[in-house]
Each structure stands twice: as structure tokens, then as C-alpha cells.
Homo-oligomer: A and B are copies of this chain.
Amino acid sequence: MTYTRVIIIGGGFGGLNVAKSLNKAKMEVLLLDKMNHHLFQPLLYQVASAALSPADIAIPLREIMRAHKNTTVLMGDVTDIDKEKRLVILGNGETFNYDYLVVATGARHSYFGNDAWEPMAPGLKTLLDALSIRERLLTSFERAERCDSITEAAKFLNFVIIGAGPTGVEMAGAIAEIAHKTMIKNFRRIDPKKARIYLLEAAPRVLPPYPERLSKRAHKDLEKMGVRVMTGKRVTNVTEDGVQLEDGFIESKNVIWAAGNQASSLLKSLDTDLDRSGRVMVEKDLSLPGHPEVFVIGDAAHVLDKKGVPIPAVATGAIQEGYYVAKIIRKGIPKDRRPAFKYFDKGSMATIGKCKAVAYFKKVQFTGFLAWCAWGFVHILYLIGFRNRFSVGLNWFFHYFTGIRGARLIQKSIREQDKKDKS
């Protein structure tokens, strides 16, 4: 007998949970991902800010799926999808047939048409992104220490984060902690406390989708930590020397982009309607119009909640969609009998710094120490695999009491930096 073949593209929160939910189903499941690991993206900023190591927040997909005998994991780069022939095509020319296809390819950051800014203002989506931001961040303090004058050192001690969504807020708070706490007594020439951290947001307030009271609280907490929060500021250019605003220029060698998302370009090969961010406009059962055997989930999909508002690009959304789609596939439910996907809003939380966070669930709002504890608890709980949970918990515990960041490593030698400066 031949089994139903299911192909899942992407091992993020959405794709991985489809694969896990198909355990023991009498199907042939193929999980494809460009990377070999599932990445716990909500904690990626902690790698970028030297608090955690990559291995703390990433686990090989094969290790997660090792006991799922019906599942093959392949590290492969899907370059094309032929939905008529039901075919997935990889970069090396290999092809695979499917009966069901789940596209869960996530998103990269978007520069809103200004892709030239990327080298100067990297975003934060992959482990390599995080390591490169960490490298720049730490090298900047080292280079400032080598400067002859304080004026010269300033540009290395100015940090600009563009976009004050959760990632931007968390990154700004973390850099403030590094500069004003972690680095204390580490330098002899510069005073890391003099580092300036700018958080820019085009909207009138930080954490725009959050309740207004929480935005205000986050704003106040950030300022207490020494972050210069600037709302209603549009960035018009990013150069080697800094960030141009409509009404001023901030000199900086450290710009981080946390402003927008753009869904994977693979989605174009599906030849269907996309929204402004490149996400697929799916049906109520998350399938492609005219193709009930193709599903798109997570950050790759434009999904509406019961009020007709697009659901936010968060892990809990992708996970719920994964479970929902897996159920349809496992039971082989035909299109006309599928219930519509229902999103259960689990609220949102963002951490700002030690003992500082904001969170809400339905009408209940938390701030300060309580929100911070809730944030830590939920994130450790969601981290897959006992070992990682334990290691992250341990690192946080140490960080809490000592202020030490365990991963303050610059991997490249200063020789390469010197060469770059000269050229």
C-alpha cells in the first residue's frame, strides 16, 4: 500500500507542530528546512545581547523528530512549488511529490523598499543575525576603548534601534543593561555608562499593538534604564555613519533594524493573492483558494480572526494553526466539511529589563516584577526539550544575581577589523 505523503516546508513553530501532531499517523511525512534546527525566536535577542548561547535556544530538528518513525527530516532549500503537479523542487534539483503540502516558511525583516540599508542596520531573525549583531555590539565597545579622544569614541558608543515593537523594546533594554551594568569596571579609558541608546518608532507610541497603558509604562521603564525613546520619528536614510531622521541625524556605528516583516519570497511561486507583506491570503481553513491540499500557516499566512482583524505574527498563532492543519490532514477532512480556524488570543508580553516587563491577557494587564516573572515562566515553559529549559534557567539565574552575561565573545580577531578600517 502507498501512504499519504505530507510535505512540510519550514521547521518553525507552525511547521514543527504540524509534524509533531502527525506522530504515528499512517503517512509519510517529509519536513524540509534550510537550517538543521528549530529556533526559539522569542529569545533570539538574548543571543544578540550575549546573555544566552545559540545552543540554548536552538535544537536540531532531527533530534526533536527522532522517535517519529514516519517522519524524514531533510536540510533542503525549496526554490519552487508546482501546485498543479503537486511537486516541491529543491535548490539542488531534487523533487518531491505530495498529497498534502504545508507551507510554513516564516518571514524575514522588511526594509520597506530600502534594502540597501541592510548591511548597516541588520535585522534579527536567524542565529547568524544574532551572532553578527552580538559581534558588532561587543566590538564597538572595544573599538571605543582604543580611540584617542572621547569625541571619536562617541560614534561607537551610540546605539540606535529602529522599531519599537517587542523585539526593538527588548533589544534596547538589553543594550542599556550591557552598557550601564554588565560592562561596569571593565574599561579604563571609556565609561560605558556614557553610551547612548536610541529607540526610534514611527508610530506615536512604543509597542503600538499593545494597550495604551502598557505602552506608557514600557516607555517610562525604558527611560529609567537610560534609553532615549523617540516616538513619531520616521527614518529617511541609514548610512555608514548613522541614521537620518526627518529632523536630525544620529551618529552611530551600531544600528539594529526591528521595524518590519516580509514573508518568504517562495510564496510567490504559489501564484495566488498576497498581502502587502507578501503573506498568502488563505481561506478560512488556512488552505489555498482552489487547492484544498495546500495549507499556508504562521508568519507566511494572512489569517483573519473572528472580528476580521489579521492575527498577529506570534508563536502562539503559528502553533494553533499547526495543530489545526494537522488535524485536517490526519483525518482527511474534505474541504466542505472543515470547520473554520479559530484563533485563541493568548495575549502578549514583552520584557524590558531586570524585573521590568509588560503583559496582557484579554482585559487583564500586568507590569513590573509580576509581568517579568510571568514572561520568564512562559518562555521557559515553551522552550522545547528539558535540557535547554534547564540551561536557560541556569543562565538567567546567574545573570540575575551577578549581572554577568555569559556569552560576551567576539569570535573574529581585531586584525580583520583593522584591515577593514584601513581599506
Q: Across the interface, do A34 and B414 meet the contact criterion of CB distance under 8 Å? A: yes
Contact code string A384-420 (vs B, CB < 8 Å = 1, else 0): 0001101100110010001010111111111100110
Residues of chain B lying within 8 A (CB to CB) of residue A407: 53-55
- State the CA gap A63–B178 with chains docked (Å): 13
- Which of A186-194, A327-335, A364-372 participates in binding chain B? A186-194
Q: Across the interface, do A63 and B186 meet the contact criterion of CB distance under 8 Å? A: yes
Q: Specify the chain B residue showing the minimal Cβ separation from A39.
A: B409
Partner of A421, one of B75, B92, B404: B92
Q: Across the interface, do A76 and B406 meet the contact criterion of CB distance under 8 Å? A: no
The answer to whether residues A75 and B36 also contact, given A91-B415, A128-B411, A406-B55 and a CB cut-off of 8 A, is no
Q: Across the interface, do A127 and B411 meet the contact criterion of CB distance under 8 Å? A: yes
The distance from the CB of A60 to the nearest CB of chain B, in whole angstroms, is 5
Question: 8 nearest interchain CB pairs?
Answer: A53-B53, A55-B407, A91-B418, A62-B186, A34-B413, A77-B415, A75-B142, A36-B410
Residues of chain B lying within 8 A (CB to CB) of residue A262: none
Q: Across the interface, do A391 and B406 meet the contact criterion of CB distance under 8 Å? A: yes
Partner of A74, one of B146, B390, B394: B146
Q: Across the interface, do A54 and B411 meet the contact criterion of CB distance under 8 Å? A: yes
**29 A-B contact pairs sorted by A residue (CB < 8 Å):** A34-B413, A34-B415, A35-B413, A36-B138, A36-B139, A36-B410, A37-B409, A37-B410, A53-B54, A53-B55, A53-B56, A55-B409, A58-B409, A60-B186, A60-B409, A62-B186, A63-B186, A63-B404, A63-B408, A74-B146, A75-B139, A75-B414, A76-B146, A92-B146, A92-B418, A127-B409, A127-B411, A387-B402, A391-B391
Interface of A is mostly: mixed
By a beta-carbon cutoff of 8 Å, the part of chain A in contact with chain B is 34-37, 53-56, 58, 60, 62-63, 66-67, 72-77, 90-92, 94, 126-128, 131, 138-139, 142, 145-146, 185-189, 387-388, 390-391, 394-395, 398, 402, 404, 406-415, 418-419, 421-422
Q: Across the interface, do A142 and B36 meet the contact criterion of CB distance under 8 Å? A: yes
Residues of chain B lying within 8 A (CB to CB) of residue A186: 60, 62-63, 66, 73
Residues of chain B lying within 8 A (CB to CB) of residue A56: 53
Partner of A72, one of B67, B142, B188: B188
